[in-house]
Structure 1
Amino acid sequence: MDPIIQIDNLFIEENTVFTELIEVIKKNFAENKLMVPKRHHHDFPNPKMNSDSTLLLMPAWNPSETAGVKIITVSPENSQFDLPSIQGTYIYLDATKGTIKAIIEAKSLTAKRTAAASALASSYLSRKDASSLLMIGTGALSINLIKAHASVRKLKKVFVWGRNYNKALAICKQLENEDFTITPIKTIEEKIGDVDIISSATLSKTPLILGKHLRKGQHVDLVGAYKKDMREADDETISKSNVYVDTYDGLNESGDIAIPLKTGVLREEEIKANLFELTSGKKGGRMDTDELTVFKSVGHALEDLAAANYYFEKYISSNK
């Protein structure tokens, strides 16, 4: 049996080209050849932290070719240990023989594929002339989201807000040599109404994006709030926007969609499209410059397997 390849975070960080990864994920959504069962979502007690943790199992298959399953834990209080909230691994398989081809560090893989999916959605939903972005959140996803969005829209100005201002400063320092200016801010309100794109990746249980601050033509990218009791955007944001999602399978997993659906603020049939429909051309994206769009990402195992294929092929090519 061939040895099992180990692909670590460093390799993923050094070998990601967002334009390539976005195209790979776009192709997989458009072709829709992968078999993806509904993911397992299990909340379990974490009494030492006085907060539940979550275990996610996300399998996918390309019959007789490749397969894989991502095993992820989400521990919201990990900042106390100076660790990202998301931890995990990806088991990459030969779908014909069932053998393990690679073990891929899932922390970076998840961050990269999530950011790429958001940027893919933005390519359909944000204005083509969008040039400014507000990043809400300073976790592991934030830098990836900024870079991914900048790969599909020519950003000139980026602003970063986090509950810890020093973390926002640190992100700006890391990205100070990019082609855009990047500035930390102390309140969301000071910039939310001025930017073209708002990307949010937090574990907030109360809305941070308030519809009263939004204007026509903006695009809102909701990436965090992965549980039913979490929300990044309020009812007014949802009610005044055209809503798009990555997949219809996860509508009841995040409070950003589940709560408005439950209260009648949003009806399922009002959701405009998912990434399968956008990438295949079955449905269109932004209709005009005044449209206010919201994209809610809950994550899809198709993205994981597509990214695993991408990094495995890069690893093999670099080691020939």
Structure 2
Amino acid sequence: MRIISSDEIDACLEDRDVLETLRRAYRSNTVAPTCPDYDITRLKGLSGNLAVQPAWTDFSAQNDVERGYVGCSLALDLPENGGVSSNLYILFSGTGAQPIALIDGMRLGTWRMAGTHALAMSYLAREDTSRLLVIGNNPRLPRVLAAYATARNLTSVLFAGTSKEVRKKAAAQPALSNVHLGETTEIHAAQEGADMICIAGPDINTGTFHALTYLDPAAGCHVDILDTTASLSSELLEDVRLFTSDLSDPPRAELEWAADLSELARGNKAGRRYYGQRTLFYPSKRTGLTDFTLAAHIFLRT
């Protein structure tokens, strides 16, 4: 069994290839059942969480068991770790059932997250999208922004409440070398000129999402939610066309979802219907399909 490190993952992947690999995943017949998360009782009334997300090649559909894989993502969150999860991905041969790879799940998850949001952007953001407003902080932002740049021709990125370290790492991304990167504290004014808004996480200065109460994107704007703990106004959610990554387990069942990425990738549902429509992508927590596909992709290239 091969152990594939974060450095090996970075060395074998590039953003455009990841985006197209995930597009093929959403068009495939890969089996990715929804499994419950498991609570782990700790001390002092606290609890942890173990998330198990399996997936495998549809051997019956391909009428062949001589090729394909079975895989599973294991994510462990314990309260003592301050909200930082541990994540591993194990990949088995679909032929002989032997384990063939143990993959750094944290780095796999960063690339998968970036590719998934860029894929959604390719269907939902206007073709002429060039100005991006990023609200809040997220350590995965540099990778996500590089992926965005493969889906649309970005010319400027404005950061609001993003850490200096994250902004510095973003500036070092080759895909953003010709993109103007700036800062703003005037979120309400900045959103008027944004073609797309990324809700990355809490403001690095305040630790809150307070500005989102007044979020009112311009006509035609696409809103991409990286941090699903963000509190969005009911007025915004009622006015935009809503999309998610997996409707088999939607992030908020009470909302009216237009489509998920499988329906968009297969052409069964439309994304943006007209130029001035506001769209919003809110990812599902279930990532079994995309983790599996990207893990197999990595295994074949390392």
**TM (normalized to structure 2)?**
0.85
8 Å Cα contact 2:141/2:166 also seen in 1 = no
Classify the secondary structure of the residue corresponding to 2:248: helix
Code of the aligned partner of 1:70: S
Residue number among 211, 216, 219 corresponding to 1:216 in the alignment: 219
Question: Whole-Å Cα distance in 1 between the matches of residues 143 and 151 of structure 2?
Answer: 13
Residue number among 272, 275, 297 corresponding to 1:310 in the alignment: 297
8 Å Cα contact 2:142/2:166 also seen in 1 = no
Determine whether 1:34 maps to 2:37: no
8 Å Cα contact 2:188/2:215 also seen in 1 = no
Code of the aligned partner of 1:94: S
TM-aligned CA deviation for residue 278 of structure 1: 0.4
Question: Whole-Å Cα distance in 1 between the matches of residues 79 and 279 of structure 2?
Answer: 28
TM-aligned CA deviation for residue 215 of structure 1: 1.4
**Residues 133 and 55 of structure 1: CA distance in aligned 2, closer, same or farther (over 3 Å):** farther
The CA RMSD measured in Å over matched residues stands at 2.7
Question: Whole-Å Cα distance in 2 between the matches of residues 234 and 195 of structure 1?
Answer: 19
Classify the secondary structure of the residue corresponding to 1:160: strand
Question: Whole-Å Cα distance in 2 between the matches of residues 125 and 184 of structure 1?
Answer: 25
**Residues 196 and 86 of structure 1: CA distance in aligned 2, closer, same or farther (over 3 Å):** farther
Question: Whole-Å Cα distance in 2 between the matches of residues 120 and 41 of structure 1?
Answer: 26
TM-aligned CA deviation for residue 168 of structure 1: 4.5
8 Å Cα contact 1:243/1:272 also seen in 2 = yes
> What is residue 274 of structure 1 aligned with on the other side?
260
Question: Whole-Å Cα distance in 1 between the matches of residues 42 and 219 of structure 2?
Answer: 42
**Residues 14 and 51 of structure 1: CA distance in aligned 2, closer, same or farther (over 3 Å):** farther
After the TM superposition, which residues 4-153 of structure 1 pair with which residues of structure 2 at under 5 Å, given as runs? 4-31=1-28, 33-44=29-40, 53-62=48-57, 63=59, 64=65, 65-74=68-77, 85-153=84-152
> What is residue 293 of structure 1 aligned with on the other side?
279
Q: Residues 1-52 of structure 1, C-alpha deviation per residue, up to 9 Å, x if partnerless?
A: xxx1111111112222111111111112112x1111103323546669x976
Residue number among 260, 269, 291 corresponding to 1:283 in the alignment: 269
8 Å Cα contact 1:222/1:232 also seen in 2 = no
Question: Whole-Å Cα distance in 1 between the matches of residues 192 and 271 of structure 2?
Answer: 22
TM-aligned CA deviation for residue 57 of structure 1: 1.1
Question: Whole-Å Cα distance in 2 between the matches of residues 129 and 51 of structure 1?
Answer: 48
Code of the aligned partner of 1:55: L
8 Å Cα contact 2:145/2:170 also seen in 1 = no
Question: Whole-Å Cα distance in 1 between the matches of residues 159 and 39 of structure 2?
Answer: 30
> What is residue 243 of structure 2 aligned with on the other side?
244
> What is residue 62 of structure 2 aligned with on the other side?
none
Question: Whole-Å Cα distance in 2 between the matches of residues 76 and 234 of structure 1?
Answer: 29
TM-aligned CA deviation for residue 223 of structure 1: 2.5
TM-aligned CA deviation for residue 126 of structure 1: 0.4
TM-aligned CA deviation for residue 205 of structure 1: 7.9
Question: Whole-Å Cα distance in 1 between the matches of residues 134 and 39 of structure 2?
Answer: 28
Gaps of 5+ in 2: 60-64
Code of the aligned partner of 2:283: S
Question: Whole-Å Cα distance in 2 between the matches of residues 231 and 116 of structure 1?
Answer: 21
Question: Whole-Å Cα distance in 2 between the matches of residues 38 and 224 of structure 1?
Answer: 21
Code of the aligned partner of 2:37: H
Question: Whole-Å Cα distance in 2 between the matches of residues 101 and 159 of structure 1?
Answer: 43
8 Å Cα contact 2:142/2:167 also seen in 1 = no
Q: Residues 86-136 of structure 1, C-alpha deviation per residue, up to 9 Å, x if partnerless?
A: 431100111222110100001111111111111111111000000011223
8 Å Cα contact 2:171/2:177 also seen in 1 = no
Code of the aligned partner of 2:35: R
Question: Whole-Å Cα distance in 2 between the matches of residues 224 and 52 of structure 1?
Answer: 22
Question: Whole-Å Cα distance in 2 between the matches of residues 240 and 71 of structure 1?
Answer: 37
Question: Whole-Å Cα distance in 1 between the matches of residues 186 and 39 of structure 2?
Answer: 32
**Residues 296 and 131 of structure 1: CA distance in aligned 2, closer, same or farther (over 3 Å):** same
